Structures are given as structure tokens and as C-alpha cells.
Amino acid sequence: MLKYCIDRLRPPRPFSWETFILLSVFSWLLAAFSWLLVPPALNAYHFTHTGGLIFFVLGTAWWQWERPIILLGINIGPWIVGLLLSLVLFDDLPENWRDQAIIVTWPLLTAWVRSVPKFFRGKLLPKWPPISIWKELTVMFLFHLLMSLWLQFGFLMNQWLMEYPSLLGQDFTRSSFAIAWEIEAPEIPQGNMMINSMEAFLRQQIEGQQWPRANQVISGLVEKRISIDKAVKESLPDIEENEWWELRGTVIQRQAGYGITLFAIWKGLPLAAKEYYLAKSCEISRTYRQRGPASSRPPAEVLDRAQVECGPASDRQSGPIPSQGQRFD
């Protein structure tokens, strides 16, 4: 049995692809031994591990040149070697960039692997190929470059969809690239989430507070001591689209309290035919509550509280923003 294994692992000649594969296995065994030492020999581990990867890539490339794998009439050997090269080159990148770099550069490295034999053509030293081969290489590189750019644009589009959720509400049915992997459209559009958060901020600051406190909050908004735009955006997930929304409102003083209109205005590139905004109307009124049971306190001893009532958010509207009352943002 031992003789059979040795005969199978023995390269047919010293300089062959089997030699490189055995060297890669030997390097990885040394890397494992370096890692198991106490303490681990990290420098030796990284050196032998990288050497094993290089030997493995060289052996695989040589093997594919001699015995190409044909699948549906296509030689997939260069794609295998190109993927291995990508893994070796970008293995040390941060995780959030590594997968993207490997996938985007894969077609370009595959084109490079496919072109290398054209410069050797069975000889030890490289030689410039004829003009006909240059034309073939040019078309091949342009084709693989187009694939790489298409993949890169796909990653870019997915990043845009994560940073600008409002894009998910657009119609991409005629697009061949805008496919968001594992990205779902939010249940509530970003504009509605903004204006609902504005309402929640008002309720948090005013609802159930004594009336003088409510007056102070509204005065702070009008006099710009309190920024509803900053406060609301700090409470939302930090995405780039937030910077393209302007949050502001208007307030009108009435006999029974205040009338407030909230606006969430899209200031970025128009996602529809025109720029738009959403509005929501709120009423802040005074309500009187007794401190305890009516039988235990005089009827005059009451607490003057603020109550907030808001209607639903409007649909998208275009045109000038209504400016009745005092503005705050």
C-alpha cells in the first residue's frame, strides 16, 4: 500500500505540475506545524502558507494548460486559475472589501491567464505573438473587462440601494443590472419614516407636559434653540440618504393652542418627475387634569397639560412649500 501511494504521488519528471502541487502540500504542512507551536511562529506560518498558495496556483495553472477542463465546449481552466489568483492576492483585505475585490478582478485575472500561453507557444522564453493573435487578445481582454465593469456596477448599485432606500420604491423591471441581493424594500418609505419620526419627537417633547413647558419647546423650535432636523436624523439609522432630506415645519398660534405643519422635503436628485415633499398637520391643545380623585381635591386644583393630535401624512406633493405661520427647522 505504501509503495502504491508513493508511486502515485511521485512526479513523472522533476519539473512538472505534480511537483508544484507536492510543494504546496509540503508548505501547508510546515504552516500547520508553525501554527501549532507554543507560542505560534506567526512569521513562519504566513511565509509557508503564502508559499503553499503560490505553488498551488502554479501547479493548477500548469495542469490546466496540459489537461484543460472542457464544460459545454468552454475551457473553464483559466477561470479556475483566475479565481485562485484572486483569492491569493486579496486574502488579506478586510472582509467588507475582500469578496468584492475577488469577484470584480476575477474576469481580468482570467483574461491574463488565458493570454500567457500565447506569449510562450511551447517555448521557454516569451515571444511577441503575431498580429492575428494580438487582435484575438484585444477582443478577449475587452470582453473580460466589460464583465468586470458590469460586476463592479452591480456592487455599486447594491451599495446605493442600501444607502438610499427610496430607490427601492422605483421601477427596475426593465433593468438588467439593478438586482439587490438580500436587500428588501422597507415597509415604510423613507419619507414617511422621516415625518413619522418628526411627530414622535413632538410627542416626546410636548405630550403630557405642563402647558408652560409646551410653550418653551415651541419657542425653542421657532427661535432655533431646538433643531427638529438634527434631533430626528440622530434617532434614525445613519445612511447617506438622510442628508438629502430637509425636515422643517410651520407653527400658527391659536386661541386653543397651536397648529403645526410638519414637512419632509426631498432635496436630492428627483426620484420621480419632480422634487416632492410630504406634509403632516398636528394640533397642540390644552387639557386639564385633576391631581387626584375629584372627592379628595378642590375642583380648582388642576394641572394644565398639553395634548398632541396629528393626522396622517400626505401623499407626495410637488410645487412650492406652504409657508403660513412661523417657520422652524
Question: Over the stretch 78-120, which tens digit does the pLDDT of each residue have?
Answer: 888 888 888 888 877 787 788 888 889 999 999 988 887 777 6
- pLDDT band with cut points at 50, 70 and 90 for residue 300: very low
**Residue, of 266 and 294, whose pLDDT is higher:** 266
C-alpha angle 296/297/298, rounded to 5°?
A: 135
Q: How far is CA 39 from the centre of its chain?
A: 39
Range in 182-186, 211-215, 282-286 with the lowest mean pLDDT:
182-186
| Whole-number pLDDT of residue 164 | 79
Residue with C-alpha cell 478582478?
105
- pLDDT band with cut points at 50, 70 and 90 for residue 295: very low
4: pLDDT strictly greater than 70: no
**Mean pLDDT computed over 189-212:** 88
Residue pLDDT, tens place only, 30-80: 888 888 877 777 778 778 888 888 888 888 887 877 777 777 777 888 888
Rounded to whole angstroms, the Cα distance separating 231 from 217 reads 13
Q: Which three cell numbers stand for residue 56?
A: 498551488
| Whole-number pLDDT of residue 70 | 79
Q: Which residues contact 138 (CB under 8 A, 6 or more apart)?
A: none
Rounded to whole angstroms, the Cα distance separating 81 from 83 reads 5
- pLDDT band with cut points at 50, 70 and 90 for residue 301: very low
Q: Name the most confidently modeled range: 26-30, 93-97, 226-230.
A: 226-230
Largest CA distance in the chain: 109
Q: Length of the chain in residues, anyone?
A: 329
Give the strand order in the sheet containing 245-254: 302-310, 277-290, 257-266, 245-254, 326-328
Q: Domain boundaries in the chain?
A: 2-163, 190-328
Residues forming beta bridges with residue 263, ordered by sequence position: 248, 279
DSSP H/E element including 247: strand 245-254
- pLDDT band with cut points at 50, 70 and 90 for residue 224: confident
- How many other CB atoms sit within 10 Å of the CB of residue 166? 19
Phi and psi at residue 124, to the nearest 5°: -75, -40
Rounded to whole angstroms, the Cα distance separating 101 from 304 reads 63
Which residue type does 72 have?
L
In eight-state DSSP terms, residue 172 is: -
Percent above pLDDT 90 for the chain: 7
| Whole-number pLDDT of residue 31 | 84
Residue pLDDT, tens place only, 127-167: 777 777 788 888 889 999 999 998 888 888 888 877 877 77
Rounded to whole angstroms, the Cα distance separating 80 from 69 reads 10
